[in-house]
């Protein structure tokens, strides 16, 4: 039962992150008069490349 609660809590937090990112990308697109779908596609491509080529194992550990 505790594992299911942890998974649900994790899923809820990840969902919040996704909603926040989408909102931010849309606000930036609107600010610069960029098509919203194009902005999301561009962000998705950048994020995908970052995930495929990088590692986050020590991200933020040295204050960066």
pLDDT in tens, 36-64: 999 999 999 999 999 999 998 888 888 75
- Quick one: pLDDT at residue 1? 67
Please answer whether residues 1 and 19 qualify as being in contact, where contact means their C-beta atoms are separated by less than 8 angstroms. Answer: no
Which of 42, 39, 21 is CA-nearest to residue 31? 39
Site of tokens 């600010």: 31
Please give the average per-residue pLDDT across 11-36, as a whole number.
98
């Amino acid at each position: 039962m505790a594992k299911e609660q942890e998974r649900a809590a994790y899923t809820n937090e990840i969902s919040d992150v996704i909603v926040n990112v989408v909102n931010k990308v849309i606000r930036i697109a609107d600010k610069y008069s960029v098509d919203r779908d194009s902005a999301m596609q561009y962000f998705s491509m950048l994020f995908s490349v970052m995930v495929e080529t990088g590692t986050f194992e020590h991200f933020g550990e040295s204050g960066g």
